[in-house]
Amino acid sequence: MAGKKVGVLALQGDVSEHVNAFSTALGGGGEVVEVRSAADLAGCDALAIPGGESTTIARLIAEKGMRDAILSFEGGIFATCAGMVLVASTIDDARVEPLGIVDIAVERNAFGRQRDSFEADIEVTGLASPFHAVFIRAPIAAAAGPGVEVLAEIPRGIVAVRQGKHIALSFHPELSGDLRLHRLFLERL
């Protein structure tokens, strides 16, 4: 993990929480930068796409001309909540044009409104003990393509996947204080 440079898409959402989580996960052996333009991706080994409002983040990506830069990015992508919506191949909302980076079909706000947010201990492939997951107006993956490894499911659907260097999570690991998923992601870069 030493020497890795992680960019955090800093257009909207829980940016500072991702910056802090990755800074801690890297243990001082790497660098975390905020990405506000396509040029900011230069030299990054990874990009975190944080939770927030997926329609707003998608609009800002388009307005700032970042779509092509993200699509051609060769590093790993760590997508949480709204980020999972954005990296999906298909979503259930025509207002958001997905990036199609991870072969999943996603339902936005699958658990309902803000008041329906919840926390749960879930089993995640690759982790020795359950992960305390924070779900806030969370999506789910209703389906995953053949090249996608499902890392975690709950009765409602798929909540964590990995495809190549990319990880997409419907919950917010940056809010849990548990950095195992960040480290699992960084180990594959």
Just list the catalytic residues. Answer: 81, 172, 174
Report how far residue 87's alpha carbon sits from residue 102's, in angstroms, rounded to the nearest whole number: 6
For the record, the structure tokens of 164 come out as 């190549």
Helix (H, G, I), strand (E, B) or coil at 2: coil
Q: Which residues pair with 135 in a beta bridge?
A: 118
For the record, the structure tokens of 146 come out as 């053949």
Of 119, 97, 111, the C-alpha closest to 176 is: 119
